[in-house]
Amino acid sequence: MSEAPIESLKAIAHPLRYRILAILADGEHNVGEIEQTSGIAQPTLSQQLAILRKAELVSTRREAKQIYYAIDLGRLDEALEGLEALRPARPSNTAIGRGNPSRHTGAAVFARLNI
């Protein structure tokens, strides 16, 4: 597996960066709009946007003095595919913590054999 999804997932995992991405999920926004919607102060917002740019999770475009940000769907899809690759085909009742919870209390369970 490529390391690219790991770096993207690490960037997404921060609460402020996740909030920024959630704002961008409804479309492109300029820095002022992101600041106003998120409540993240400008210096911190700039730092977090730089990390998202470095991870290539957002794209930018300049219009006059405004910089607009949008989610890079290709990179986001790579991160989601990386997570999806970890999902088992179907959960199994034999997996740890699965099955009938009333039968497993956390203590050892022994079978009794009548011979």
Q: DSSP letters along 17-71, please? A: HHHHHHHHTTS-EEHHHHHHHH---HHHHHHHHHHHHHTT-EEEEEETTEEEEEE
Confidence of residue 14 (pLDDT cuts 50, 70, 90): very high
CATH number belonging to domain 4-84? 1.10.10.10
Rounded CA separation 38/112 (Å):
60
pTM for the model stands at 0.72
Could you give phi then psi for residue 98, rounded to 5 degrees?
A: -105, 175
Mind listing the pLDDT tens digit for each residue in 46-66?
A: 999 999 999 999 999 999 999
Could you give phi then psi for residue 50, rounded to 5 degrees?
A: -65, -40
